[in-house]
């Protein structure tokens, strides 16, 4: 009696297992195309982005390039008035002129370095100088012309033999560690221009 029911039950279980196996295989086959389609979609997206016009993917920075700026323009040499301010109000024979010449020289040395005078044309340096000089009174112009030789000598001493000027630097209230603060070539570029024009203005004053 028992064996009569065991065989049908066994057949039903086998049929159920076979149905499960078929369903599993069918599900795996359906998911395989979807997974293979995903990379194709990604590659198509990447290909599409690479084909975008360059104007939409790159910023136009040409107008921001500092190389377009004319370094020899008078407007690119700034700080002229502040640099020459210590050169006024004194001259040879005036009390404290030795210290004032060092202060003026230090100011012009730093200006020559900051403005990279050796890379400027003489015309650009002249224009920068005259933008300050032309605004002076006749007495101020004459005073600068008289002070220029002292300023020039002090600058050359700072460049070539700063140790011998330790006392004057300290008395002038300057920081010796920041001096001369200029390369020889930048100073020579400025001095060469002023040597050519200061005597002329001195003669006209």
Q: Where are the domains of the chain?
A: 71-204
Each residue of 115-134: pLDDT tens digit?
999 999 999 999 999 999 99
* Predicted model pTM: 0.62
- Mean predicted confidence (pLDDT) in 87-111: 96
Q: Which among 133, 148, 149 is positioned nearest to 74, based on CA atoms?
A: 133
3-state SS assignment for residue 82: helix
Q: How confident is the model at residue 76 (pLDDT cuts 50, 70, 90)?
A: confident
Q: DSSP for 13-33?
A: HHHHHHHHHHHHHHHHHHHHH
Confidence of residue 30 (pLDDT cuts 50, 70, 90): low
């Amino acid at each position: 009696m028992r064996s009569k029911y065991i065989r049908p039950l066994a057949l039903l279980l086998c049929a159920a297992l076979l149905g499960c196996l078929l369903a599993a295989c069918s599900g795996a086959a359906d998911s395989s195309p979807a997974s293979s389609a995903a990379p194709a979609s990604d590659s198509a997206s990447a290909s599409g982005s690479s084909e975008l016009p360059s104007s939409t993917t790159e910023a136009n920075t040409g107008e921001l390039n500092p190389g377009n700026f004319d370094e020899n323009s008078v407007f690119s040499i700034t700080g002229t008035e502040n640099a020459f301010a210590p050169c006024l109000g004194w001259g040879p024979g005036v009390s404290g002129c030795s210290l004032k010449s060092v202060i003026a020289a230090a100011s012009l040395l730093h200006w020559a370095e900051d403005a990279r005078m050796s890379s400027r044309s003489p015309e650009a340096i002249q224009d920068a100088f005259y933008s300050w000089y032309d605004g002076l009174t006749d007495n101020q112009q004459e005073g600068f012309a008289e002070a220029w030789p002292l300023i020039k000598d002090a600058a050359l001493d700072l460049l070539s033999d700063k140790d011998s000027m330790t006392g004057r630097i300290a008395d002038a209230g300057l920081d010796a560690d920041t001096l001369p603060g200029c390369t020889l070539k930048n100073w020579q570029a400025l001095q060469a221009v002023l040597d050519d024009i200061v005597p002329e203005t001195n003669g006209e004053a």
